[in-house]
Amino acid sequence: MKKSFLLFALALVLMPSCQKQETLLPEEDSSTFVNITDVVPDVILEIRYYGTYNFVGARIDGYMQPVALLTGEAADSLKAVSDDVMAQGFRLKIYDAYRPQMGVDHFVRWSQSAADTCMKRYFYPMLDKPVLFEQDYIMAKSGHTRGSTVDLTLFDMNTEKELDMGGTFDWFGEESHPDFCGNPETGEYLGLTAEQTAKGLRPITEQQFRNRLILREAMLRHGFKALDSEWWHFTLRNEPFPETYFVFPVEQL
């Protein structure tokens, strides 16, 4: 009897489980993502959408912890960027990286609430809120949600301050364009165009323009591509998930 019981118990242990295994949808799977600080330990984080100092004025849905996540491929390329700029006396400072779809949906809902303009003077003083969606400052789908896009700037290790880029992160306006006051492809500083002067825009200085180029050129050297409307925004050129918009929250992996 004892031998029979032991054989029965062993059979139960070896028997394949009949319990249904949970299957994650592709957009729910965070297994190919990493905490940026695990790969780039010298990076500085200021995750704006975890706090309230952002264009919405509230913590954004899906930002559960003040951490930054990227696909492993993007994080490895960012490590190369970090090594590059550190040799020049700078550290990377990240404002946003992976952004879950629920965060993007929060932006869209906010853009449709005309009365909520508490942060207008800080981020979009020259624009009426309804045009933000129309002019693609806010979109229903974001490259950030694919996991290989990062918003960042440079921190000067000599002055122990952010490098002066002549404008703030998430400023909605021409002043944020990489070609504002210059040609980023040639590095030539040009100042304001006649049309920009007529609009009453204030120029950035030649030094501020060149500071933007330090960041841009390092990012491009190591596999990222730039965005035409934001000097701080870069996407891995060969991103691993060009068609997947992830939904898991921003939290420590």
Residue 70 resides in a domain: yes
Full domain range(s) for residue 103: 27-236
What is the number of structural domains in the chain?
1
Residue 166 resides in a domain: yes
pLDDT of residue 10: 46
Residue 181 resides in a domain: yes
Residue 20 resides in a domain: no
pTM: 0.90
Residue 196 resides in a domain: yes
CB burial of residue 80 (10 Å; 0-12, 13-18, 19+) = middle
Sign of CA dihedral 214, 240, 169, 63: negative
- The CATH code of the domain that includes 107 is 3.30.1380.10
| pLDDT-based confidence at residue 1 (cuts at 50, 70, 90) | very low
pLDDT of residue 44: 98
Chain Cα centroid distance, residue 124 = 19
Per-residue pLDDT for 20 more than 60? no
The tens digit of pLDDT for each residue in 67-109 reads: 999 999 999 999 999 999 999 999 999 999 999 999 999 999 9
Question: With contact defined as beta carbons under 8 Å apart, do 155 and 162 qualify?
Answer: yes
Average pLDDT, the chain: 92
Question: With contact defined as beta carbons under 8 Å apart, do 98 and 68 qualify?
Answer: yes
Residues in contact with 78: Cβ distance below 8 Å, sequence separation at least 6, in sequence order = 36, 39, 40, 43, 70, 92, 150, 222
Residue 245 resides in a domain: no
Question: With contact defined as beta carbons under 8 Å apart, do 166 and 175 qualify?
Answer: yes
Percent residues over pLDDT 90 in the chain: 83
Residue 12 resides in a domain: no
pLDDT of residue 134: 82
CB burial of residue 72 (10 Å; 0-12, 13-18, 19+) = middle
Residue 16 resides in a domain: no
